[in-house]
Amino acid sequence: MSLAAAVKAIITMVGGLVTRVIAIFAFLWTAGLQGDDPLQDGYHARAEIIQAARREGHLVVYNTMHADAALADILATFHRRYPFITIRDSDGDALKTYIRFTGETARHRPSADLIWSMAMDLQEKLINDGFALAYTSPEMPALPNWAHWQDLGYGVTQEPIAFVYNRRFIPDARMPHTHAGLRDLLARNPERFRGKVAMYNPAQSEVGMLLMSQDVQVTRDSWNLFDTLGLVDAQLYSTSRDMLQAVLSGRQWIGYDVVASYAMEMRKTHPELGVVYPSDYVLMLSRVAFISATARDPNAAKLFLDFLLSREGQQKLKSYGMGPVRPDIGVPVAQARINAGRVQAIRIGPGLLADLDSLVRAQFLRRWQQARDTAE
């Protein structure tokens, strides 16, 4: 190569580099005009994803958080960080959300860009059936292995399942702290507690079905407890929030297998609500999120997923009693008291599909109905 050609090549290379540097600074300056810098505070989303999300300008999220203050705050915080994204959120029951999403997708109709649900088994089925978009979040190195299934589904919380009770009717010293203790209390006083216990209806609530089937996996003695719950005619509910409202109202005195994050948030304004993390074992649930394979706004969905997994998003979840999955953020104070050796974490993965088998499910519900029949 001649000297003149070499000099020309160097000028071209340097000029290209300068152009790229100027472009990067221009992008960051523009992002700053739009709101908080999305690359600060330890969040390292790729600039090209942010640019693509800006072009999309929309995000559709399906969730099962029941439109509470936590969800509103999370969405508002995300929107302040990315004000160029308009969020449309749809909140509903886990099974209805599943049916809606699969139906819309089958008809090639607009649907969710991201689904976020505590019905871990239904989420795993959707992932297994090819409904999830593969995406390696830049937050993945901060997550434990159990908190994601490959690069398809991500657990964004770890939330214990608890007993709750109304202190106006049951003194703290009388409230059992084990599953066997709860069974014994009810069995000794069936008339006193008749109609005074709230529990999930596994035939109508997917989360209830998941939790009760996990109870049985931990110990077959769970059927003895379910029989006793049938004996006292435990009242059936579809959500933890409904159970909590019933216990606070005094219609029921005890709630079984309640999502503790909801209970801890309610206890801030209702000190009469007692929460027990069973000392024999504690189920640990995770809200699973994934990006739809047919998302119309996949880049906006990536940003939202990354936000949920980021330090900022995890701190926000923690402030509402939902345990973060990141080990670099401590769990809520009450959750820290749980004996780690007693935790039975429900892991994300194909193992969750077993309880969705129609024969297994039908057998479980038949046995559960037998427990209910003892009340009649």
CATH number at residue 194: 3.40.190.10
Mean pLDDT within 347-356: 81
Asked if the structure places residue 50 within a domain, the reply is: no
Q: pLDDT value at position 257?
A: 97
Q: What is the mean pLDDT of residues 186-207?
A: 95
Q: What average pLDDT is seen over the chain?
A: 86
One domain for residues 103 and 221: no
- % of the chain exceeding 70 in pLDDT: 87
Assess whether 174 and 115 both reside in one domain. no
Q: Is residue 263 part of a domain?
A: yes
Domain hosting 212: range is 159-285+346-373
Q: Is residue 218 part of a domain?
A: yes
Evaluate whether residue 174 is within a structural domain: yes
Residue, of 62 and 361, whose pLDDT is higher = 62
Instruction: Place 173 in a pLDDT band, splitting at 50, 70 and 90.
Output: very high
**H or E segment to which residue 153 belongs:** strand 153-155
**Which of residues 331 and 189 earns the better pLDDT score?**
189
Determine the length of the chain.
376
For 131, the token pair is 């409904």
Does 181 share its domain with 281?
yes
* Domain presence at residue 277: yes
288 or 22: which leads in pLDDT: 288
Q: Is residue 32 part of a domain?
A: no
Q: Does some domain include residue 112?
A: yes
- Look at residue 3 and tell me whether its pLDDT is greater than 60: no
| Same domain as 350, residue 238 | yes
Mean pLDDT value of segment 70-81: 92
One domain, residues 122 and 67 = yes
320 — phi, psi (to 5°)?
-105, 20
Alpha helices in the chain (DSSP H): 3-34, 47-56, 69-81, 94-106, 120-128, 179-188, 206-218, 222-231, 240-249, 260-267, 298-309, 311-319, 333-336, 358-373
Pairing of strands 288-291, 153-155: antiparallel
Same domain, residue pair 172 and 279? yes
| 246 and 369 fall within a common domain | yes
Q: How many structural domains are present in the chain?
A: 2
Q: Report pLDDT for 178.
A: 97
374 or 157, which is more confident: 157
Return the closest-CA partner of residue 212 out of 177, 161, 252: 161
Confidence at residue 67, expressed as pLDDT on a 0 to 100 scale:
54
**pLDDT: which is higher, 194 or 332:** 194
More reliable by pLDDT, 100 or 94: 100
What is the mean pLDDT of the segment spanning 164-168? 98
Highest mean pLDDT among 145-149, 181-185, 262-266: 181-185
Asked if residue 354 and residue 211 are part of one domain, the reply reads: yes
Structure tokens at 102: 């699969």
Which are the contacts of 234, defined by CB distance < 8 A and separation ≥ 6? 197, 198, 199, 256
Q: Assess whether pLDDT exceeds 90 at residue 195.
A: yes
Q: How far apart are CA 70 and CA 285, in angstroms?
A: 17
What is d(CA 90, CA 92) in angstroms, rounded to the nearest whole number? 7
Residue 24 lies in a domain: no
Q: Are residues 114 and 241 in the same domain?
A: no
Which range, 43-57, 247-261, 359-373, has the best average confidence (pLDDT)?
247-261
pLDDT tens digits for 310-331?
999 999 999 888 889 999 998 8
Does 146 share its domain with 80? yes
- Identify whether residues 91 and 223 lie together within a single domain: no
Statement to judge: residues 295 and 254 lie in one domain = no
| pLDDT band at 50; cut points 50, 70, 90 | very high
Compute how many other C-beta atoms are within 10 angstroms of the C-beta atom of residue 153: 23
Stretch 276-305: mean pLDDT: 96
